């Protein structure tokens, strides 16, 4: 599994209480937030604002990371990402 460091908080909320962070976090390949991802996130945020869906700053970075990696975005917050052009979102 790959994730942005921005996802740590959500990932830890999903961990079974019988497992510790030490057990789960090493299983994740952490992806860097690059300049390219940041620029794409800015484009996503602008498009969301123009369409009347302001989205903050973290969600566009998460979406841009998935798009740049060419992978679906797995999330419990489908409604935060379902309007991002070209992004495959899975619950």
Give pLDDT tens digits along the chain (91 positions). 777 777 777 777 777 666 666 677 788 888 889 999 999 999 999 999 999 998 888 999 999 999 999 999 988 889 999 999 999 999 9
Query: In angstroms, rounded to a whole number, what is the distance separating the alpha carbons of residues 8 and 66?
Result: 15
Radius of gyration of the CA atoms of the chain, in A: 14
CA-to-CA dists, residue 40 to 9, 18, 23, 61, angstroms: 22, 38, 32, 8
CA-closest candidate to residue 25, choices 43, 49, 41, 9: 9
Number of domains making up the chain: 1
Could you tell me if 84 and 41 are in contact, meaning their C-beta atoms sit under 8 angstroms apart? no
Q: pTM of the full predicted structure? A: 0.79
CATH at residue 15? 3.40.50.1010
Structural domain range at position 19: 2-90
């Amino acid at each position: 599994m790959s994730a942005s460091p921005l996802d740590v908080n959500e990932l830890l909320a999903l961990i079974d209480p019988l497992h510790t962070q030490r057990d789960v976090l090493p299983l994740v390949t952490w992806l860097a937030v690059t300049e390219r991802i940041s620029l794409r996130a800015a484009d996503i945020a602008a498009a969301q604002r123009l369409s009347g869906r302001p989205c903050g700053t973290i969600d566009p970075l998460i979406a841009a990371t998935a798009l740049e990696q060419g992978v679906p975005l797995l999330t419990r917050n489908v409604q935060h990402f379902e309007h991002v052009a070209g992004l495959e979102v899975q619950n």
